[in-house]
Amino acid sequence: MDLPNTPFPARLLLVDDSPTNLRFLAHVLHNMGEIYFATRGEIALQIARDKHPDLILLDVEMPHMGGYEVCQRLKQDPLLAEAAVIFVTSHQSMEHEIQALEAGAVDYISKPLNPPIVRARVKTHLTLKQQSDKLRQLANRDGLTGVFNRRAFDELLSVEYRRHLRTQIPLGLVMLDVDYFKRYNDFYGHLQGDDCLRQIANTLVMASRRPAESVCRYGGEEFVVLLPHCDRAAVLQYGLWLREQIHQLALPHEASDMGIVTVSIGGSACIPDERTSTTTMIQQSDSALYDAKRQGRDRVCLYPLPE
């Protein structure tokens, strides 16, 4: 009953205050993915934040923080809410099963544990999780370029903003606009215009390789890139690098004074606090982008703008 081949192994988090139970579950599930262990609810939450498990087998009765509370906290955290939770408990009443499902679990396994049943349940929910992830990914992708769409960007920015608010590390954002793109479409036609946008998007993806850097099509010929752990200096360096990568494409643009396709870039960075918001970051980057266009395009500007 092994899982079908997948690009990355599933991540399983086993949570139980009994080391004996953890060893038993690990033996039963030994070839079904990467396995992590926690003997307390607080430790489980920390491991979940670090490892982002696909599936969590969670004991109901634990000291300090019980399984129901752990599950509720997982579901309240946008970074962890998609993890599937299976409760493991000695209780077999309908009331406990209802409580488990209301807490956000996808399933409920009663002790004593039957290994074939445990494996079958885990396999089923890992498969469902993989299918759900694929559907979510399709819904969050721009149909033309394949990068994240505006809806996905709003979610990603919200999650990263909260994460950086908690860690007090700077978060960067760049917005870019293809210069004179209407002229490009008028001169070369919309099919070639679509191909131009695809090449721009691919270049952005290739230039954004660090973990959690996210490229999104914001609308029309406008793109945004989310830059975790980046201050203003790093955002500027990235923007200049990106501008150079677009230059190296050397896409002809006879309707532009530059002769090739270029982009205008606006960026911002901040350490999130309670006085600012994701809307603030977008407005600041958009203001810097407008300044780049006002100064003649094919350049990078940062917020705050010079006096």
Mean pLDDT of 53-73: 92
Question: Structure pTM?
Answer: 0.64
Of the candidates 117, 109, 16, the residue with the CA atom closest to the CA atom of residue 63: 16
pLDDT for 4: 40
305, pLDDT greater than 90: no
Joined together, the tokens standing for residue 215 give 């490229």
pLDDT for 7: 47
2, pLDDT greater than 80: no
Of the candidates 270, 163, 167, 285, the residue with the CA atom closest to the CA atom of residue 216: 285
183, pLDDT greater than 90: yes
In this prediction, what percent of the chain has a pLDDT beyond 90? 68
Backbone angles phi, psi at 90, to 5 degrees: -85, -15
Rounded Cα gap, residues 18 and 171, in angstroms? 40
5, pLDDT greater than 50: no
DSSP 8-state secondary structure symbol assigned to residue 173 = E
pLDDT for 306: 64
Categorize the per-residue pLDDT at 274 as very low, low, confident or very high, splitting at 50, 70 and 90.
confident
Domains of the chain: 11-137 (3.40.50.2300), 150-302 (3.30.70.270)
Burial class (CB in 10 A: 0-12, 13-18, 19+), 85: buried
Mean pLDDT of 35-53: 93
24-28, Cβ contacts within 8 angstroms, sequence gap of 24 or more: 24/113, 25/57, 25/88, 25/113, 25/118, 28/113, 28/115, 28/118, 28/119
Catalytic positions:
221
**What pLDDT digit, counting tens, does each position of 13-39 carry?**
999 999 999 999 999 999 999 999 999
**What pLDDT digit, counting tens, does each position of 234-257 carry?**
999 999 999 999 999 999 999 999
Residue 252 CB partners (closer than 8 Å, separation 6+): 259, 260, 261
What is the residue-averaged pLDDT of the chain? 90
Rounded Cα gap, residues 1 and 20, in angstroms? 24
pLDDT for 259: 96
Which one has a higher pLDDT value, 51 or 1?
Answer: 51
pLDDT for 244: 96
H or E element, residue 12: strand 11-15
Residue 15 CB partners (closer than 8 Å, separation 6+): 37, 38, 39, 41, 44, 56, 57, 58, 59, 62, 67, 70
Categorize the per-residue pLDDT at 179 as very low, low, confident or very high, splitting at 50, 70 and 90.
very high
**What pLDDT digit, counting tens, does each position of 195-234 carry?**
999 999 999 999 887 777 899 999 999 999 999 999 999 9
99, pLDDT greater than 90: no
**What pLDDT digit, counting tens, does each position of 106-156 carry?**
898 988 899 999 999 999 999 988 888 777 776 789 999 999 999 999 988
pLDDT for 8: 61
Of the candidates 1, 2, 6, the residue with the CA atom closest to the CA atom of residue 129: 6
Joined together, the tokens standing for residue 108 give 């409920």
158, pLDDT greater than 80: yes
pLDDT for 76: 86
pLDDT for 188: 96
Rounded Cα gap, residues 193 and 183, in angstroms? 10
